[in-house]
Amino acid sequence: MRVIAVASEAYPLVKTGGLADVTGALPAALAAEGIAVTTLLPGYPAILAALGDARAIATPGPGQRILAGRAGGLDLAVLDAPPLFDRPGNPYTAPGGGDWPDNAARFAALARAGAMLARGEAGLARFDLLHAHDWQAALAPAYLAFASGRRVPSVLTVHNMAFQGQFPPETFPSLGLPPEAFTVEGIEYYGNVGFLKAGMHFADRITTVSPTYATEIATPEGGMGLDGLIRARAGRVAGIVNGIDETVWSPTTDAALPARYDAATLDLRAANRAAIEVAFGLTADASPLFAVVTRLTWQKGMDVLAEAVPALVAAGGRLALLGSGDAALEGAFLAAAQAHPGRVGVRIGFDETLSHIMFGGADAILVPSRFEPCGLTQLYGLRYGCVPVVARVGGLADTVIDANAAALEAGVATGLAFAPVTTPALTAAIMRAAALHGDAVAWAGMQRAGMRADLSWRRRAGAYAALFRGVIDG
Ligand code: ADP
């Protein structure tokens, strides 16, 4: 089976979040299932630089070329279109913040190139299936639906329903779709153009990244306006939890760590903890060290955490936070660090290496998200013996076994889960974690139970492979 994946980022080439981790790791896991994946990415400067000796295989539009090559361990097709993608800053936002004003044109071009590739019209043989990731790729199933001839089936994976790619109706004529596409039974969304909505309508299957999130997006509270469409397509929607790439995320081999270790040598983590203390200006002691690695946004519950910082410090804890995002939240955490010197340390920015050291040395990773489609940092925490303290939502609920009395006694607890996402509930979870941390045997038991869990892509890739086969066989 040959699959063309369409995405706007892929680790290690370009990453702003969990989407890149998934699109970077899934192809190798699917290869083991006999599925060959070619990934179409935008020609951002970093991707073109990594591509090396690529060959041009098609010219899908004026000023556009599709290049084929290999980089980052991936078989790639790259949409080289300098007016659209040769810019500084983030894939989605201008350096000063704010979405690029032409995002509709940029990602429509990507999706259209994906559909051409899928149909064998862009220099590579026809593919058996197109796998679109998130709104940036979600028009591809629409382009396929309106193309003539034998239809290439498609699957849309929704990594986060909060990002929908909505644009004013004036955008529509530039998309190159027939007028009849602009209806409720198409890409129209409350009078606007909806990229994610279109993909959800036209894809043969919709997947999301955990079973609990799949049920949450079918409700008005979790569906962000698209729950009706999810309910209408029930039976075509599946939740498959993300895996982790163990060639990148394993404490036994991780080159970023000052000290590598396994479940039998947890005491070696002390050297990594010391590195965190230095990096974040924290006092060196045996008190519980909580870590946070995240986008600083409302989704991630960071305002709630900011309010819980005094209680965390009062409970004897320390906090090391790595993140960037909302200016107000950045300011709140920088102020917290000033107010609690030696107890709270903050790094504003995106730092892949430092994030690895944090999982390798901190006692617990805090993930108080209001909603979380899957979440990856709790999975990295599990793998690294960095006990997750999570909100009981979405993929967090599906991947962490709360340390209630029964789970502790059975030796299966892997973390702490709390609800609702409020300052008192988060504070109670932090205090519960601090108390458990004082019981060295119970804590090490939780660390080891987490490290034993199978978080690999192997099983998950099997689920994707079965779903793809089901779609192709009709
Ligand atoms: P989301 O995709 O919603 O941001 P996920 O938990 O699914 O959340 O994935 C986030 C990914 O980005 C993880 O690999 C996490 O380690 C990484 N990450 C987030 N913020 C930072 C940061 N400031 N520095 C380094 N890595 C980060």
261 within some domain: no
Q: Verify that 439 and 463 share a domain, yes or no.
A: no
Q: Report yes or no on 279 lying in a domain.
A: yes
Domain shared by 466 and 448, yes or no: no
Q: Which of 72, 202, 208 is nearest to 133 (CA)?
A: 208
In a domain, 310, yes or no: yes
Q: Which atom of ligand 1 is nearest to the CA of 323?
A: 23
On whether both 92 and 189 belong to a single domain, the answer is: yes
Instruction: Look up residue 234 and give its two tokens.
Output: 């029930």
Q: Which atom of ligand 1 is nearest to the CA of 295?
A: 20
pLDDT at 397 over 90: yes
Sign, CA torsion 296/375/451/445: positive
Beta strand 55-58 pairing with 65-71? antiparallel
Ligand 1 site, residue 294, Cβ cutoff 6 A: yes
Query: Is 307 within a domain?
Result: yes
Q: Do 223 and 330 have their domain in common?
A: no
Question: Do 299 and 233 sit in the same domain of this protein?
Answer: no
Note down the domain range covering 375: 266-452
Q: Are residues 444 and 463 in the same domain?
A: no
Give the pLDDT score at 53.
85
Q: What pLDDT, in 10s, does the model give residues 324-350?
A: 999 999 999 999 999 999 999 999 999
Is residue 402 included in any domain, yes or no? yes
* Same domain (yes/no): 234, 351: no
- In terms of domains, do 196 and 223 share one? yes
Residue 427 has what pLDDT? 98
**Both 275 and 363 in a single domain?**
yes
In the numeric block, which tokens belong to residue 429?
């979870």
pLDDT digits (tens, 9 = 90+) for 260-286: 999 999 999 999 999 999 999 999 999
Supply the pLDDT for residue 203.
Answer: 98
Whether residues 144 and 127 fall in one domain: yes
Residue 463 Cα, ligand 1 centroid: separation in angstroms? Answer: 24
What atom in ligand 1 is closest to the CA of residue 21?
14
User: Is there a single domain that holds both residue 306 and residue 227?
Assistant: no
Mean pLDDT (the chain, rounded): 97
Residue found under tokens 């810019």: 87
Domain assignment present for 317: yes
Quick check: 266 and 447 in contact, CB under 8 A?
yes
Q: Which residues contact 421 (CB under 8 A, 6 or more apart)?
A: 301, 304, 368, 369, 370, 391, 393
Specify the CATH number for the domain of residue 326: 3.40.50.2000
Determine, yes or no, domain membership for 350.
Answer: yes
Q: Are residues 447 and 461 in the same domain?
A: no
Number of domains in the chain: 2
Start-to-end CA distance of the chain, whole Å, equals 15
Interval 204-244: pLDDT, tens: 999 999 999 999 999 999 999 999 999 999 999 999 999 99
pTM: 0.96
Check if 350 has its Cβ closer than 6 Å to any atom of ligand 1: yes
Helix ranges (H only) for 182-301 are 195-202, 211-216, 227-232, 269-280
In a domain, 253, yes or no: no
Structural contact between residues 335 and 253, judged by C-beta atoms closer than 8 angstroms: no
